[in-house]
């Protein structure tokens, strides 16, 4: 994970969508929100889950790897940038390649849109917009040490399994340490968890 990054804690999320609205206020993509907010336990609980770009580090940025226009750049600090508008051809390869389903295509502009951790804000020492406004701290911006100071005993995961592939990410998730050892199962049908057949 990156040194200073976003930590996502779905346990704290109240599903209010302040992050969704705040993202829309960002000057570089005003009016369009890049945050995904899902209610994954529909009908059973009011649980909610925010998703920002995970800024994959190993393999580095699958979205960038598949980009035929070489439009998606990764900065030295590990932030996977939004597709460069002068290069992007709106082909949606990145959308299909992303294991977390993060990038979107603005169909009218024929351009990709994706979270860059509010590079314009973080480069001036501000937190990303979503983590700034999040009323509960479900989106936390800072270092792992800062997170641990404030939430004693917190466990985080920065690797996720998709079938045989393990993806290491720059953004981390808070996990219930007593229940799941990471890497955390990703998006494909779960067959085994950490070597244990769970079918």
Partner 1 sequence: MTLPVDPTIAPPGTRTFHDAGGIPADRWHADQTGETLVPTHCCFCGVQCGMYLRVNQAGKVFGVEPRNHDINRMRLCPKGINAYQQVNHPDRLTAPLIRRYRDKPFQECTWDEALDFTVAEIRRIQEVYGADAFGMLGGASLSTEKTYLVGKFARVALRTRHIDYNGRLCMVSAAGANKLAFGIDRAGNPFSDILLSDCVLIAGSNVGECFPVMTQYIWGARDRGAKLIVVDPRETPVARTADLHVPLKPGTDSAFFNAVLHVIVRDGLTDEKYLADHTTGWDAVKAAVENYPPDRAAGICGVGVEQIEQVAHWFAGAERAMAWHARGVEHHSQGVENCLSIINLCVATGNIGRPGAGYGTLTGQGNGQGGREHGQKSDLLPGGRSITDPEHRREICHIWGIPEDELPLAGTSMMEMVHQMRRREIRGLIATCNNPFVSLPNHHVVKEGYDTLEFHVQLDFFLSETAANAHVVLPVTVWAEDEGVMANAEARVVKHNKAQDPPPGVRTDTWILCELARRLGTGDKFAFSTSRDVFEELRIASAGTVNDYYGITYERLEETGGIAWPCPTTEHPGTPRLFEDGRTYHPDGKIHLQAVAWHPPIDPYDETYPLSLTTGRTVAHYLSGNQTRRLGALVEQTPRPWVEVHPSHGFSNGQPVRVVTRRGSAVYPALVLESIRPDTVFVPYHWPSPTAANILTIDALDPRSKIPEYKVCAARIEAATTLDEVPAPPTGPGRVAYPETQVSRTDPRPPTAPQGLGTAERDWSPP
Residues that bind partner 1 (CB under 8 A): 11-18, 20-22, 24-28, 31-33, 35-39, 42-48, 104, 106-108, 120-121, 123-127, 129, 132-137, 140, 142, 146, 150-152
Smaller CB distance to partner 1: residue 6 or 167?
6
Smaller CB distance to partner 1: residue 105 or 167?
105
Rounded to a whole number of angstroms, the minimum distance from the CB of residue 163 to partner 1 is 23
Smaller CB distance to partner 1: residue 27 or 178?
27
Rounded to a whole number of angstroms, the minimum distance from the CB of residue 157 to partner 1 is 19
Smaller CB distance to partner 1: residue 39 or 60?
39
Phi/psi of residue 148, each to 5°? -70, -30
Rounded to a whole number of angstroms, the minimum distance from the CB of residue 164 to partner 1 is 27
DSSP letters spanning 105-158: EETTTTEEE---S-HHHHTTTPPPHHHHH-TTSSEEEE-HHHHHHHSTT-EEEE
Write the CA distances from 79 to 73, 118, 148, 178, integer angstroms: 8, 10, 22, 30
Smaller CB distance to partner 1: residue 25 or 70?
25
What angle is formed at CA 42 by the lines to CA 136 and CA 13, rounded to 5 degrees?
A: 5
Rounded to a whole number of angstroms, the minimum distance from the CB of residue 186 to partner 1 is 17
Rounded to a whole number of angstroms, the minimum distance from the CB of residue 56 to partner 1 is 21
């Amino acid at each position: 994970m990156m040194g200073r990054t976003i930590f996502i804690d779905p346990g704290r999320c109240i599903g209010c969508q302040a992050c969704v609205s705040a993202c829309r206020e960002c000057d570089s993509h005003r009016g369009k929100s890049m945050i995904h907010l899902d209610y994954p336990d529909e009908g059973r609980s009011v649980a909610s889950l925010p998703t920002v770009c995970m800024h994959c580090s190993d393999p580095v940025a699958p979205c960038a790897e598949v980009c035929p226009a070489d439009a998606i750049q990764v900065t030295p600090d590990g932030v996977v940038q939004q597709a460069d508008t002068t290069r992007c051809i709106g082909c949606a390869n990145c959308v299909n390649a992303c294991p977390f389903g993060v990038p979107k295509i603005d169909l009218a502009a024929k351009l990709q849109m994706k979270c860059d951790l509010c590079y314009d804000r973080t480069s001036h020492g501000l937190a990303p917009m979503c983590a700034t406004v999040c009323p509960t701290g479900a989106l936390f911006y800072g270092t792992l040490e800062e997170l641990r100071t404030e939430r004693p005993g917190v466990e985080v995961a920065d690797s996720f399994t998709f079938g045989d592939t393990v993806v290491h990410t720059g953004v981390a998730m808070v996990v219930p340490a007593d229940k799941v050892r990471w890497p955390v199962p990703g998006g494909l049908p779960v067959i085994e968890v950490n070597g244990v057949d769970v079918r």
